[in-house]
Structure 1
Amino acid sequence: MSISFNHTIVASRDKRASAEFLTELFDLPSPTPFGRFMVVTLEHGACLDYADVPSNEEIHTQHYAFLVSDEEFDTIYGKIRSRGLPHWADPGATRPGEINRRDGGRGVYFPDPSGHSMEILTRPYGSGG
């Protein structure tokens, strides 16, 4: 049996705004409604299903990492910088305004509109380089 990741639910304050933030930043197809979700489809068919959380409920922030090409990194990081989005080289946010160069690649962390920790990286960690 071949096991692959299919989807996860991403809690948000505004599912449409959060889903559109990601699709625009990553140059992905527009999100599509499915039941109570706004669905962002990634490469290979995996999906992020954005769902609204009532304002009286806490959103537990999660971390979402995306492996991108060098060209995609340049494009996405350019958008992050041009929009003045806060970003860091590390998950602890101790190196603001920087990128990391782990394993011979590049990576950066930034928040989405609901406060989730998003990351783009060009090489998987531990891959050498």
Structure 2
Amino acid sequence: MRVLHTMIRVGDLDRSIKFYCDVLGMQLLRRTDYPNGKFTLAFVGYGDEKSNAVIELTHNWDTTSYDLGNGFGHVALGVDNIYSACANIKELGGKVTREPGPMKHGSTEIAFVEDPDGYKIELIQLKEQ
């Protein structure tokens, strides 16, 4: 078994695709409309779905926003340079909600950004190998 994708519901699909692709550097892998169900699915990620976990953006045509609730935490992305990644995200109009630095009670460097619908994305500094 392996993780295939994580699905999140979004209020404005084009705005979300722009964030994940233009700000976070993912690629739009596929996008399919389902007119009978009145929804669209878009899959974004850093590589093909055969060998990488991706994010499924689900847009229900009749819904413009969602309550995020308190059960979902975040999606985590590994980055080579957390400081330049956050600077780049800000330059591209993204929202950094926690500046880079060591995590509480640990030494791993993390930061948090927020997507257009309010979902949290944790950036984790990858360790040099």
TM-score by length of 1: 0.68
More strand by share: 2
Matches within 5 A, 1:1-129: 3-35=1-33, 36-43=40-47, 44-53=51-60, 54-55=63-64, 58-60=67-69, 62-70=73-81, 73-83=82-92, 85-89=94-98, 98-102=99-103, 104-123=107-126
Contact 2:83/2:100, CA 8 A, preserved across alignment: no
More helix by share: 1
For residue 84 of structure 1, report the CA deviation from its aligned partner.
Answer: 5.5
For the residues of structure 2 that align with 1:74 and 1:32, how far apart are their CA atoms?
A: 30
Pick closer, same or farther for the CA change 1:57–1:85 going to 2, 3 Å. closer
Q: Structure 2, unaligned stretches of length 5 or more?
A: 34-39
Number of matched pairs: 112
Letter aligned with residue 16 of structure 1: D
Q: Percent identity?
A: 15
For residue 14 of structure 1, report the CA deviation from its aligned partner.
Answer: 1.0
For the residues of structure 2 that align with 1:75 and 1:120, how far apart are their CA atoms?
A: 11
For the residues of structure 1 that align with 2:111 and 2:66, how far apart are their CA atoms?
A: 29
For the residues of structure 2 that align with 1:57 and 1:85, how far apart are their CA atoms?
A: 20
For residue 110 of structure 1, report the CA deviation from its aligned partner.
Answer: 1.4
Q: Which range moved further: 114-123 or 57-66?
A: 57-66
Q: CA RMSD in A?
A: 2.7
1:33-86 C-alpha deviation (Å, 9 max, x unpaired):
03421110234421211012413753446511112223xx34421222324544
SS of equivalent to 1:13: coil
For residue 32 of structure 1, report the CA deviation from its aligned partner.
Answer: 2.5
Q: Structure 1, unaligned stretches of length 5 or more?
A: 90-97, 125-129
The equivalent of 2:37 in structure 1 is: none
